[in-house]
Amino acid sequence: MSQAENTEQRVRRFLRLPSVAEATAKSRSTIYRDMAAGTFPKAHRIGPNSVAWDADEIARWQAERLAAKG
């Protein structure tokens, strides 16, 4: 199996709100406010009453914050 095939078949990880809040040091209200402002990754609907965030999107957001810091 090639590297590209392996990457495509990788299981994506979803994070629920408590994990996102812990990973980003943001409160629930700040996460939703920043999502509305377009400065934080949007949640994805994973069920009728459930949302979660793509772990890769959160990791990219974190990397961007660190890169902006210098």
Please give the CATH number for the structural domain made up of 12-69. 1.10.238
Query: pLDDT confidence of 70, banded at 50, 70, 90?
Result: confident
d(CA 68, CA 70): 5
**Among candidate residues 3, 68, 61, 5, the one with its CA nearest the CA of residue 34:** 61
How confident is the model over 4-39, as pLDDT tens digits? 556 567 899 999 999 999 999 999 999 999 999 999
**Among candidate residues 17, 21, 28, 23, the one with its CA nearest the CA of residue 50:** 17
pTM above 0.85, yes or no: no
